[in-house]
Amino acid sequence: MLSGIRVFRSATFDRWAPPLALATGFAVLIAFGMAGVTRRGLWAMDLEVFQAAGRTWLAGESPYDRAALDRHYPRTEVYLPAFASPPATAPFFMGLGLMSERTAKRVLDLMSLLAVGILGWLSARMAREPIDPRLQPASTRVFWYFPALFALSSFTFQTLWLGQISLITATALQAVWYLDRKRRPVAGGVCLALASLKPQIMLLPLIWLVLEKRWRMILVSGVVAGIFMAYPLIRGGPIAEMRAWMAAVQDYKTHDPNRLGACFVVGLPSLVVAAGGAAMDLTLTGVLLTVVLWAGRRRICADDVPALLALGGLGIVYGHDLDFVYLAPLAVSLALHLRGRPTAGWVVAGLTAVFFVPSRFVCQFGLPLLSQWRSAIGLVFLGWLLSLSVQHAAVQAPRLRNLGSR
């Protein structure tokens, strides 16, 4: 009798837990990321900068000209850093600039919610269809739990609240990896162009695709990106506009929230500065390590490449805490490697919970090294995943050789 009740309860839980998790995830996301429960200020702060840039372009001026951008920025009492998005964002931001702030925010919110769902679906498909046949596919429940996890992320909350486009570009990059598996270079190239709207995250993946000779995808991406940036380059001249953008990027990094060691800047260079060390640019190091990883690609699992590049870009090159929405591939890799390892799963759950702690709860203490807790966890995940990937490839290689010799 009691065993029957337990079986019934277990079956009921197994049936309803996944959809309940998904519904809870999106309900919490809407509450904290859109409705602003427990939030104070900063609503649509980044969106207003994007709209100002779009209106500047619509007026025939350059948003990389600070005086021109200031004329189209609505909040005169709020500090405005330099606009550092690439010229390829022009069509998107010009469209937002034609709308009112509230309408633009609603449109962006809907696009971001859709992006979370698509990101979860793409990640689930990648976990269910691993490239490496030696990896056991993840459970079908990932179709429910992945989008729920991404929706419950504090990075997703903040991205929606500020009016950022990171969820859209992160989904586009995940689509690049998925479509590359499916040998669909045209669709993958379009997604690659969309992902390039956040170019600092695209550096290492683009280098990998070049090394893999994905020429059709790269060509399509270049054509689409060229169409995106056609108006700014024609208006201001290609050389002048690109120089103005690069100057804006350099100026952007000099502002307090974007400096190495700041609470919102992540990665090894930021961690070193917070610990009292000298500032350093590890971009070239990240590029070289990507080449080394590619050269040794047969010693790692192909499924782990997207996660390793995302962790490497954010952990070694440069990024903000909001850019952790790009770590969806990490969920795929961990689901594949840690299936049937409950202890490791609990360790991941604990690290993720600490990872998701909102910045305002930690940064308020004013301790630079403590404020880099996410950088440290990201580096732990990078080292752990690389170890798992290498170990799995090393264990399976002799088995494949034995099978081939029979």
6, 13, 15, 26, 376 from 2: Cα distances, Å: 6, 16, 20, 35, 47
Is 185 domain-assigned? yes
Residue partners of 94: CB distance under 8 A and separation at least 6: 54, 55, 57, 58, 231
Is 98 domain-assigned? yes
Is 247 domain-assigned? yes
Q: Each residue's pLDDT tens digit in the chain (406 positions)?
A: 434 444 445 677 778 889 999 999 999 999 999 988 877 777 888 999 999 999 999 999 999 998 899 888 877 656 666 789 999 999 999 999 999 999 999 999 999 999 999 999 999 999 999 999 889 999 999 999 999 999 999 999 999 999 999 999 999 999 999 999 999 999 999 999 999 999 888 999 999 999 999 999 999 999 999 999 999 999 989 999 999 999 999 888 888 888 999 999 999 999 999 999 999 999 999 999 999 999 999 999 999 999 999 999 999 999 999 999 999 999 999 999 998 899 999 999 999 999 999 888 898 888 999 999 999 999 999 999 999 999 988 876 555 455 444 4
**Looking at the 3D structure of the chain, how many domains does it have?**
1
Alpha-carbon distance of 82 to 64, in angstroms, equals 7
Residue partners of 87: CB distance under 8 A and separation at least 6: 228, 229, 232, 233, 241, 242, 245
Is 22 domain-assigned? no
Contact yes or no for 177/208 (Cβ under 8 A)? no
Is 145 domain-assigned? yes
- The pTM assigned to this predicted structure is 0.92
The tokens for 365 are 């203490």
- Measuring CA to CA, which residue among 15, 84, 93, 4 is closest to residue 55? 93
Contact yes or no for 139/16 (Cβ under 8 A)? no
Alpha-carbon distance of 78 to 101, in angstroms, equals 16
Is 234 domain-assigned? yes
Element (H, E) at 319: strand 319-320
Is 406 domain-assigned? no
- Measuring CA to CA, which residue among 272, 256, 252 is closest to residue 264? 256
Chain-centroid distance, C-alpha 81: 22
Alpha-carbon distance of 367 to 261, in angstroms, equals 10
The amino acid sitting at 200 is Q
Structural domain including 73 reads: 36-394
Is 170 domain-assigned? yes
